[in-house]
Amino acid sequence: MTKIAIQLDRSRFEPHVASYHAEGMRFEELSRAGVPVLHLHVSSLKSPTALCAAMRMWRYIREHAIRLVHAWDPSEPTPVADASLLIGAVCVLRPEKALDLLQESFARIRHLQPGMKLLIVGSGPELPRLQINGQRLGIQNDCVFEPATPCVPQYLRALDIFVLCSRSEAFSNTLLEAMACGCCAVGSQVGGTPELIGNDERGLLFRPGDAGDLAEKLTTLIGNERLRREFGTRAADFAKTRLSIEIAAGRMAEIYEMMLRRKTAWLNH
């Protein structure tokens, strides 16, 4: 949405972007481009006013056959272009993400392919500890850190293998986005990750906290490009047909309608 607003023809449109947050990377990018940001002071989306507004917007989009799409800029540079094979993770750098486990597994298998790199994209309190851990493991020259960025799809599309090694996880949006980008994924058996990856259908699962098991799964994929491509293709198809924006919007609309019916029934009593 940010890039679409910035790219609009100013001679035809005066773009305005509404947001619940008046800070962050997107806000700063829009401000630099001179695009006004309307700060919506909404404390809770459970309020009847917010629900009614969302329902009106959904009906308008449906009645006018408006298609909402995501976009990415193919002209943006590919990160770590000199890597022979790129393994990576994209997340907030917090302890529960278990990125030290990923570093340990990478240290065990990096000899399998010269020039292989580990890319960690994100910001957070764990960065200093992870940098020290990389030095301890002797992978400091092969472990690349990039700060949090709005250009997540560009990094995901550059990866040969995406890893989600969390010790705890709900339903990972980053894993879903990686699958939509056609990444071959490896994930820990926690939360909603097995539901997304399946039983060796769209990627591989490993036992949470087990660096050896993760290293074994990475070894399988490093030596089998055909399997990586198959997993990536299946993952992208799954994301498109089962978890698309349209499907999610329809399900959200059903929730809004249900809540509004309950609210109306309560007010009428």
The segment with the largest mean pLDDT, out of 34-38, 66-70, 263-267, is: 263-267
Q: What is the pLDDT of residues 209-242, one digit of tens each?
A: 999 999 999 999 999 999 999 999 999 998 888 7
The answer to whether residues 61 and 68 touch, using CB atoms and an 8 Å cutoff, is yes
Q: Is the pLDDT of residue 74 over 50?
A: no
Distance CA 12, CA 10 (A): 5
Collect contacts of 49-57 with beta carbons under 8 A, ≥24 apart: 51/256, 51/259, 51/260, 51/263, 52/260, 54/256, 55/253, 55/256, 55/257, 55/260
Domain locations along the chain = 2-72+245-268, 86-242
Q: What is the pLDDT of residue 262?
A: 75
Distance CA 245, CA 186 (A): 23
Closest by CA to 217, choosing from 141, 208, 191, is 208
Task: Label residue 1 by pLDDT band (50, 70, 90).
Answer: low
Q: What is the pLDDT of residue 90?
A: 96
Of all helices (H) and strands (E), which one includes residue 249?
helix 245-268
**DSSP collapsed to 3 states, 148-210:** CCCCHHHHHHHCCEEEECCCCCCCCHHHHHHHHCCCEEEEECCCCHHHHHCCCCCEEEECCCC
Percent of the chain residues past pLDDT 90, beyond the cut: 49
Q: What is the pLDDT of residue 36?
A: 75
Of 73-77, 79-83, 242-246, minimum mean pLDDT range: 73-77
Of 49-58, 70-79, 151-160, 250-259, minimum mean pLDDT range: 70-79
Work out the number of other CB atoms within 10 angstroms of the CB of residue 108. Answer: 17
Work out the number of other CB atoms within 10 angstroms of the CB of residue 5. Answer: 18
Candidate CATH numbers 3.40.50.2000, 3.40.350.10, 3.40.190.10, 3.40.50.300; the one for domain 86-242: 3.40.50.2000
Distance CA 156, CA 129 (A): 24
Distance CA 179, CA 232 (A): 7
More confident residue, 247 or 195: 195
Residue 220: which region, alpha, beta or left (left: phi > 0; alpha: psi -120 to 50)? alpha
Q: What is the pLDDT of residue 75?
A: 46
**Which residues face 245 on adjacent strands?**
none
Q: What is the pLDDT of residues 152-191, one digit of tens each?
A: 888 999 999 999 999 988 878 889 899 989 999 999 999 9
Average pLDDT estimate for 139-148: 95
Q: What is the pLDDT of residues 55-68, one digit of tens each?
A: 776 776 677 665 55
**Which residues face 162 on adjacent strands?**
88, 185
